[in-house]
Structure 1
């Protein structure tokens, strides 16, 4: 069975779910162009998910993907939180902010029984997970709803783990990919491989379709991934400038600047390694420096700095998520991006 047959799509092209920079509009545009559009759900309330799914179904009759996180909720550590806030205090003073008045930041909720119930009610054609998989009983409910299940692997061991638990396809997330690493069996970033090294190893190790992700920004990248045995590709950064994306003005400015050529893995913004364009906070604290609270608690103290800086058109404290190859990132409709990528499928 081809990936297209498995997922009910015309093109083996998946739009990466990108929380904070997109909603239903981007998913619809990719679906209508023949790919698999995705809605990131980890930062949305159940009511918001319902509304976005309604918008997707109003805009397209084609299959779509709902994406959820599967992290373990952390235990708050008061000492670590205090140390983190102390390290950020100079920036608070510089921007005239009161460290004692930090409001709660939007969290990222892991998949739960309530979300499984929502999936059962909404019956999305595809459900994907990041950071592993939910508990077996929750995964069984998702599969029983009729959804095809995808999840990200950043190592061969993770791919084998996912295969043993019944996923329908594996997303091989190379080190080049923007946003959060999907790593879940280890926190050691030295285990992370580039896409060209990772994809053929996972293809050789599992019997499932493998979807290549990371650094793929044009038709040549699609062709290269397919040559390595990938059944399809997942693309994120190339869509960030599309009119259907909700990427902020500060983020868009960074993406078209020379700064986009320098990205790094950082845990400063959320507490978990993710690839972003290097900015002031990353330079001064070190991308993997400091001791931010565990994911996703680090976002709370960063949020006021981000808001104040962005109000002044600065991305100094913003998570400017981006992969290592922003060359395909263009301010054109997402359908055009999808069709341009599809040129790499020929032959």
Structure 2
């Protein structure tokens, strides 16, 4: 930690906490696709940093969500965007290919008791429009995954006094983010749930666990590092701080909590025996991501047909997982989860925060 050279007196008052304007250096990870405004505001009101994933939202929806957050909290919060939200190969997929994939899922639709869709379309939001909406809505903090935003965007954020956070899965990515002018970096270990946001090399070639990644990123850059991936309780926070991180980002432990936007079936699966078994797969969205291993993941993994590019594969799989969610069939849902899901024990954000703070206070006292 580089706040004042004294770990015992500075775990709360790190450079990351100071830059972000928060009391405790604990960030709630953004959940793309979930309306998590209540949880985002709760974490911020508790002294951490709540985050809202906005990859699926258009400009007007982003402004509405940010407006809602401003009514729920006076504390800082973050909006998260994907710099790369569509694979180039998407433009090469024709209607016939889509129809073939739908026919290949005929048995799945039959088992769910639903009619196959006539076609599948993936609406891709324009990154530039999203960024403009975030800035215009007076968002305090803007975080990014899957790449480095254009220089003019970073310059505009600095002009508007918006702090920026980039995401790295390797030390090389961290160096590139620092050189681009980002304010802070999330070092994302492969233990974490959701997408592996690598951008310099393929995700499958950039898999590093937190114990290796965090100190390498800390050594590689001068700006504050936020540790992420498998951090679900106070022990994980302490370990990350000892490795040199100046904040932690927590996903699965907060996803279980009320207000996250995840439904009861989803949250129950995270807290069940199934939560002990997660795998990395590109079958759900076309991009490598970690979720609970279930029948849908296994059956998709048995196919010799490669997934469609993102976001077409995501849209295709949603024709199954959407109805499955409505039917409360967890074995057919996409349930993002980190490897430490089994350590999550609270369904209230306040209790998650309290345990982490108490553990760190005790360790660093």
Fold in common (TM above 0.5): yes
In the alignment, is the contact (CA less than 8 A) between 2:62 and 2:134 conserved in 1? no
In the alignment, structure 1 residue 109 sits paired with structure 2 residue 109: no
How far, CA to CA, are the matches of 2:62 and 2:85 in structure 1?
21
Shift in Å, 1:186: 1.4
1:163 is matched with 178
Change (3 A) 1:102 1:150: same
1:129 is matched with 144
Change (3 A) 1:289 1:16: farther
In the alignment, structure 1 residue 314 sits paired with structure 2 residue 319: no
Shift in Å, 1:26: 0.7
In the alignment, is the contact (CA less than 8 A) between 1:221 and 1:344 conserved in 2? no
Please give the root-mean-square deviation of Cα atoms over the aligned residues, in Å.
2.1
In the alignment, structure 1 residue 31 sits paired with structure 2 residue 44: yes
In the alignment, structure 1 residue 90 sits paired with structure 2 residue 107: yes
In the alignment, is the contact (CA less than 8 A) between 1:172 and 1:213 conserved in 2? yes
Change (3 A) 1:243 1:289: farther
Change (3 A) 1:309 1:274: same
In the alignment, is the contact (CA less than 8 A) between 1:28 and 1:56 conserved in 2? yes
1:11 is matched with 24
Shift in Å, 1:254: 1.0
Shift in Å, 1:184: 0.9
Shift in Å, 1:13: 0.6
Q: What's the CA shift string for 1:47-89, capped at 9, x where partnerless?
A: 2222221221112111111110111533331265455434423
In the alignment, is the contact (CA less than 8 A) between 1:217 and 1:325 conserved in 2? yes
Please, which moves more after superposition, 272-281 or 78-87?
78-87
| 1:169-184 pair list within 5 angstroms | 169-184=184-199
Indicate the SS of the match to 1:211: strand
Indicate the SS of the match to 1:151: strand
Shift in Å, 1:94: 3.1
Of 43, 58, 67, 1:45 maps to: 58
In the alignment, is the contact (CA less than 8 A) between 2:80 and 2:143 conserved in 1? yes
Indicate the SS of the match to 2:142: strand
